[in-house]
Structure formats: structure tokens, C-alpha cells
Amino acid sequence: MSVAIAPQPARRLSAAARAVFTSVPPSVLLSFVVVAIVLLWALFPGLFTSYSAVLGNTATKFEGPSAQHWFGTDDLGRDEFARVVHGAGPSVGTALVAVGIGLFAGGLIGLLAGFFGGWVDAVLGRLVDTLLAIPYFLLAVVIVVGLGFDTINAAIATGISSVAIFARLMRAEVLKVRHSVFVESSYLQGGSRGYVLFRHVLPNAYRSVLALSVLQLGQAIIVIAALAFLGYGSPPPASDWGELVSAGQSYATAPWLVYCPAIVIVLTVLSINRISRWLRKTN
């Protein structure tokens, strides 16, 4: 954190922008391309496929991948690529919701605990310990059971499960800044708590929290896919990626029904993790 001495936010941004255009490794650029494509699938699925994700032609069922059906067709003759593209929304969009929940709630808890210390820290610390005591995936299952089986509920559950992780990092970051010399001097110059918070603490914490958010996005995709795989997502004919893998598993003669959605999940998460790693390195 050599830039910690309160640089102008604008200068920080432009420096970041310059870094993006000059020194991005090719693998990171490729990762950005993959993520962009998946996000476009989620936003405008109709632009990428003319097939329906719900209605199929039973005359063409269980066809292998071809120029017409890139990912083949499933047991009802539906185009698997169309199902994957239309599934991007519920699989990746919901992961964004999950990270948003974790980031907001966890960030707030960590901020309060680290900034105020004392009994606030003690109480919030036990809350975080409690959330951490239940394994991440198990907690998500319990919450989704409570809320009801639906993809958006799976996302909420995933988000709540990650609150503790965000809180812990945010607290550590805040503590790191709070005891630094420039914060002390800011107080001495008459800076209020709120001023110090927004001027020094948050700007310094944001980089590592951003890296964690991106990392958690990948994890959220995995957890939501796993919940959908177990059948805790939206019921058919929804085509969440986890559900596609689960459905494809029943047909031993049509391996593409497992491999295609599985490869899409892995490529997406791999790209997101690569971006997160790069963000952390350039910290």
C-alpha cells in the first residue's frame, strides 16, 4: 500500500485505466472476453441463438454436436446451446446478486467492527464466527430450504453464506488503515470519523475487497450451480447450468449433454478467477 497517502480519487482511476491498457497479460484479456460473452448471453440471449430453450423438436432428439446444433440436442430435441445461453442469466446474473448481498452486508459488518472496535467488534465478531462455523455450502442449503427452492433464493442463500468472508476481509483492511500514521494525522488535523472513513479507510480497502468480490463471483457461480445440480434451483424447464449438467447425467449415450454445460461453467469460473488473481497481483 505505497499509494496509501490519500491520493486524489481521480488520479487513482486514471492510473488504473492506464494500467489496464498497457500491461494486461494476454490470458487476462482472454478472460475478460470470456466473461463479456457470458454476460452478453445473460443480458441478450436472443442475439446468440435462434432456437428456443424450452420448446424442442422430438424428431431431432439426442443429436450430437454439429454446425446446426453446436452443443447437440437433448432428450426433447431442444438445442443444448440455446439452453446454455438462456441459462446464463439465472446462473451468472444470480451470482452477481449473491456477491452484491455478501459485499454489502459483509462489507458493512466488517467496516463497523474494524472502525469502532470495542464491544461492537466483539458482538459482530461472534456473529461472523457463527456464520463461519457452518460450512459455506451447508449454510446455503439450509437457507435455501428455508426460503424455498428457486434460483433467486439460491442466490440469496449463497450471498448470505459469503457475508462472513467479506466481513473478515473488510475488518482486516480497515484495521490495517486505521492505525496508520496518515489516519492519526488526519484525526489530529480535525478530521471527523465520517471524513476519515470516506477519505482514507474506504479508498484504501476497496482494491482487496474488489479482488475478493471477483473471486467470490466465481465461487457463487459454483455454489449456485451445485444447488441447482441437487435440484434446489428453479424447477424445469429452467435451464440453470447446474441443472443442465444434472439432467444430462441421466443419458450415458449423450455425453455432450454433460460436457458442454460443464465446460462452460469451468471456463467461466476459470476466467473470473484469473481476473481476480490479476487484480490481486496488481494491487
Which residues are near other proteins by CB under 8 A? Answer: 121, 125-127, 129-139, 141-143, 145-148, 165, 168-169, 172-173, 175-176, 208, 211-212, 215-216, 218-219, 222, 225-226, 229-230, 232, 242, 245, 249, 252, 255, 258, 262, 265-266, 269-270, 273-274, 277, 280
C-alpha cell at position 49:
441463438
- Residue 223's DSSP bridge partners are none
Nearer to other proteins, 146 or 190 (CB): 146
- Residue with smaller CB distance to other proteins, 17 or 36: 36
> Which has the closest alpha carbon to 35: 81, 88, 102?
88
Q: Compute the least distance from the CB of residue 50 to other proteins, in Å.
A: 28
Cβ at position 183, least distance to other proteins in Å: 13
Distance CA 166, CA 92 (A): 20
* The residue type at 260: C
**Separation of alpha carbons 153 and 94, rounded Å:** 9
Q: Tell me the C-alpha distance between 31 and 28, whole Å.
A: 5
Instruction: For residue 194, count other CB atoms closer than 10 A to its CB.
Output: 8
CB of 245 to other proteins, least distance (A): 7
Q: CB 47 → other proteins: shortest distance, Å?
A: 26
CB of 51 or CB of 171, closer to other proteins? 171
- What's the min distance (Å) between Cβ of 67 and other proteins? 25
Nearer to other proteins, 31 or 49 (CB): 31
CB of 189 vs other proteins, minimal distance in Å: 24
Q: Measured from the CB atom, is 28 or 51 closer to other proteins? A: 28
Calculate the alpha carbon distances from 255 to 66, 102, 236 in Å: 14, 36, 20
Give the angle 257-259-265 at the CA atoms, nearest 5°: 110
| Gap between the Cα atoms of 69 and 25, Å rounded | 33
Q: How far apart are CA 92 and CA 90, in angstroms?
A: 6
Rank residues 82 and 225 by Cβ distance to other proteins and give the closer one: 225
